[in-house]
Structure 1
Amino acid sequence: MADAAPLALCELHYAVAGDWNARSSGLVDALPAPCRLCGSSLGVRFPSGWLCAECEWRHGDIVDAELAPPRLDIVYYLRYADRVKIGTTANPRQRLAAIMHEEVLAFERGDRMLERRRHAQFALERYERTEWFRLSDRILEHVDALRGGTADPWAALARWRSRAAAATLT
């Protein structure tokens, strides 16, 4: 019998129960290779094969290069010195390359309507007639909430894209 086990089973029966659970619920483990859709290295192993733990793409399936990626609008928060730009785009790499900034603070799923709401929300910090705002505690608190404990906004964007792409295929 295993010490501190929740049930009084012998080692053999714990092994049998563990195997049964892995077959029915899957076993979280490192994928044999990164997911082709989102790049995650974490997967769920089933007897029938692997699924990406992040986007649920079946490991080994080929991503059809002819499929257009789903449109995903985001609101971005860029810092330059003591200012923050709040804007929106569907192509952040291209858009952000055109804007001088020191740091990508956060991304938020949303379109121009959400961008307008954020501009109104932080109107007291706004530089008149621009999309630039004074860096404030209120904006930093909002950015921290958007990050959700993750420091890399690009990772969040990759997750959103992979989920959107997987949703179009199911």
Structure 2
Amino acid sequence: MRLDDGPCAASVEPGAPLDLCTRHLLEAYDWVARDVGVTDLLPGPCLVCGSRVGIVYPSGRICAICEWRFGDAPDDGLADPRVDVVYYLGYRDQIKIGTSGNPRVRFASLPHDEVLAFELGDRTVEQRRHAQFARHRFAGTEWFGVHDELLAHIAELRLGIADPWAQYDRWVSRRLAAQS
């Protein structure tokens, strides 16, 4: 590559896609990235859809999923949407299967050691899970003994999910995006 002060003396690395040294390849990359953006993690979840993947431009960041400008707040007039979930709480050697449209408030009144998983659904899904795991249910309660079948179901719900709360927040954000 030729610079104002003469040709570049740096060697081209084997396998480089262009006949440029590493420094000039990076300069070319930065030149293109200013218009097409660079995929990277957002500093926090998108307020609209909950995604953490963004596109970085010199002028700022946008969500890679819904293209909401990171840092912009959704309209104040939108109420927090209701997202009904079936939740799985672990407490000692028991698991509670319940449902709520506001699990943060609900969990404040429940004994639990850990939020194990969420799945989208209302009372219909909750009742289906109660029937599915009925052999291990403590009579008259929504609490179940820990057993392989239930643990396998929870593991399936958790597949690829490091934090159930992040998943729940994403569902709420997506519902909010659908309202706007």
TM range (shorter): 0.7 to 0.9
Could you say if the C-alpha distance between residues 133 and 18 of structure 1 is closer, same or farther in structure 2, counting changes exceeding 3 Å? same
Fraction of identical pairs, as percent: 49
Corresponding position of 1:165 = 176
SS in 2 for 1:139: helix
Corresponding position of 1:141 = 152
TM-score (norm 2): 0.75
CA shift, 1:69, in A, is 1.4
Asked whether 1:97 is paired with 2:108, we answer yes
SS in 1 for 2:69: coil
CA shift, 1:77, in A, is 0.2
Corresponding position of 1:10 = 19
CA distances 1:33-74 after superposition (whole Å, capped 9, x unpaired): 535617766421246742124664322322223310121111
Residues 35 and 57 of structure 1 are in contact (CA less than 8 Å); yes or no, is this contact kept in structure 2? no
Distance between the aligned counterparts of 1:104 and 1:54, measured in 2?
Answer: 27
Larger radius of gyration: 2
CA distances 1:3-60 after superposition (whole Å, capped 9, x unpaired): 334x4x2235786477547744x411244x5356177664212467421246643223
TM-score (norm 1): 0.79
Residues 36 and 62 of structure 1 are in contact (CA less than 8 Å); yes or no, is this contact kept in structure 2? no
CA distances 1:128-153 after superposition (whole Å, capped 9, x unpaired): 23211111111111111111233321
SS in 2 for 1:70: coil
Paired amino acid for 1:3: P
SS in 2 for 1:155: helix
Distance between the aligned counterparts of 1:117 and 1:65, measured in 2?
Answer: 37
Report the number of matched residues.
165
Could you say if the C-alpha distance between residues 54 and 105 of structure 1 is closer, same or farther in structure 2, counting changes exceeding 3 Å? farther
Distance between the aligned counterparts of 1:54 and 1:141, measured in 2?
Answer: 30
Paired amino acid for 1:10: D
Distance between the aligned counterparts of 1:78 and 1:54, measured in 2?
Answer: 30
